[in-house]
Amino acid sequence: MTNNIPDRYFGVELEGFTRRSTKVMKLENIAEVLAENGLDIGFARYGDRSKSYTKWKIKPEDTITPPFGGYIGFELVSPILCGSAGLLELKNVLDVVKRVLNPVPSDDAGLHVHVHFDSVTSNLDALKRLCQNWIKYEDIFNLILPAHRRENKNRYSLGTRRHQRKDVENNQKSPSQKPNLSDYLRVTFPFQHIFFSTSQPT
């Protein structure tokens, strides 16, 4: 299934909820029980700016609310992954998370995908086309998302057109000033956030 995946660096951040138990009373315990089940994982506090991307992390996530009482929210952050091997590692980790934590779905919980895409970001014309095509076809891309992700009800998952217009208006010094490329890059993609990096992962 993953044989033809290009060797591109990527990372994911997954939000979820699990029921509190005698073993899981706080976030640190989530990392502990996952480590006991074979994962190379640790706990990182909210706002952690560590540049270590070599192991999985469990972090707090204040933007999500548990759907039921007795549940605790968490964010699972991957190390830098690459290509087919990275997808296989992601699958194996999620299999363990599903088996051990039995996480529950929620409209609040989301997914971020970070993609190292230097072949595009180092080419200004290609980057412009990418931004233009995303904005142009956003409504089509949104068809793969549930309806509540397309209604601009969550400030963390606004559509690009609405957010981009607001950003441009806030940053224009005069009505005649035209937005530049950075105005079009300061947008939040709905649900799946995709970040492009030009620096070599370490």
pLDDT string in tens for the chain (202-residue length): 455 667 889 999 999 999 998 888 888 999 999 999 999 999 987 666 666 678 899 998 878 888 888 999 999 999 999 999 999 999 999 999 999 999 987 877 888 888 887 766 677 888 888 888 888 888 888 888 777 777 666 666 677 766 554 444 455 545 455 444 444 444 333 333 444 444 445 4
The residue count of the chain comes to 202
Question: What is the C-alpha to C-alpha distance for residues 169 and 165, in angstroms, rounded to an integer?
Answer: 6
Rounded to whole angstroms, the Cα distance separating 83 from 129 reads: 24
pLDDT of residue 198: 41
State the pLDDT at residue 110.
81
Cβ distance 24 to 73 under 8 Å?
Answer: no
Residue 76 CA to residue 111 CA, distance in Å, equals: 10
Domain ranges for the chain = 9-115, 122-190
User: What is the dotted CATH code of the domain comprising 9-115?
Assistant: 3.30.70
Give CA separation, 123 vs 20, 83, 127, 178, in Å.
Answer: 48, 22, 6, 22
